[in-house]
Amino acid sequence: MSTLRLGDTAPNFTAETSLGTLNFYDYLGDAWGILFSHPADFTPVCTTELGTAAKFSEEFSKRNVKMMALSVDGAESHQEWIKDINETQQTTVNFPIVADKDKTVSNLYDMIHPKADNNLTVRSVFIIAPDKTIKLMLTYPASTGRNFYELLRVIDSLQLTAYHKVATPANWKNGEDVVVSPAIGTAEAKTIFSKGVKEIKPYLRMTPDPTV
């Protein structure tokens, strides 16, 4: 199996989940998607992560992003774990968790890293565009919980830069100034971006967020 890279088509799959049997592509439809894996059910960091994901579900929905989680335990185990997540994190998990006992999806997405653990998935994150291409991949060790504010920030950047000729600078947040794409000259940029272009260097031009 070849390693997935940015720009590759996200592999499709049909799997049993906490919400029944789902086909990944059908589930996503025309939306953006985020697929994230968890080492195992009933683990402390994962419990906080899934609770946080549930609390962020409205923010993901605003951005037309559908979430799907994965763990190598079964659907029955997921159902019991969800009860714990809802109780301890004071939320309601309303997105599917793939039951990947045979590790089919984990191997399809290269979520198992033998030098970390031969049996459990690492904390992988894949953000997938509506055309089913992979736009972002992140891998965390099992001991480090993910930052969901960062995942929202990245999605904002990906969606902005998908439709406008800009890039986002370090620590950028939604609504802040953006970088003019190096592919267009300053004169052309000034005709495209009506809010103005500030040339700091010939290769570094800033403009207000065109969506604000």
What pTM was computed for the model? 0.91
- Beta strand 123-128 with 166-167: parallel, antiparallel or unpaired? unpaired
Q: Do domains 14-146 and 164-207 have the same CATH topology?
A: no
Q: What angle do CA 191, 192, 198 make, to 5 degrees?
A: 80
CATH number of 164-207: 3.30.1020.10
Residue 46 is a catalytic residue: yes
CATH number of 14-146: 3.40.30.10
Domains of the chain, by residue range, sit at 14-146, 164-207
Among residues 10, 46, 93, 151, which one is catalytic? Answer: 46
CA distance 136 to 155: 9
The confidence score (pLDDT) of residue 110 equals 87
**pLDDT tens-digit profile, the chain (212 residues):** 458 999 999 999 999 999 999 999 999 999 999 999 988 899 999 999 999 999 999 999 999 999 999 998 999 999 999 999 999 999 999 999 999 999 999 999 988 765 545 455 568 999 999 999 999 999 888 788 999 999 999 999 999 999 999 999 999 999 999 999 999 999 999 999 999 999 999 999 999 999 98
The confidence score (pLDDT) of residue 142 equals 79
Q: What angle do CA 105, 29, 46 make, to 5 degrees?
A: 45
CA distance 27 to 132: 12
The confidence score (pLDDT) of residue 40 equals 86
Closest CA to 32 of 10, 15, 49, 52: 10
The confidence score (pLDDT) of residue 120 equals 58
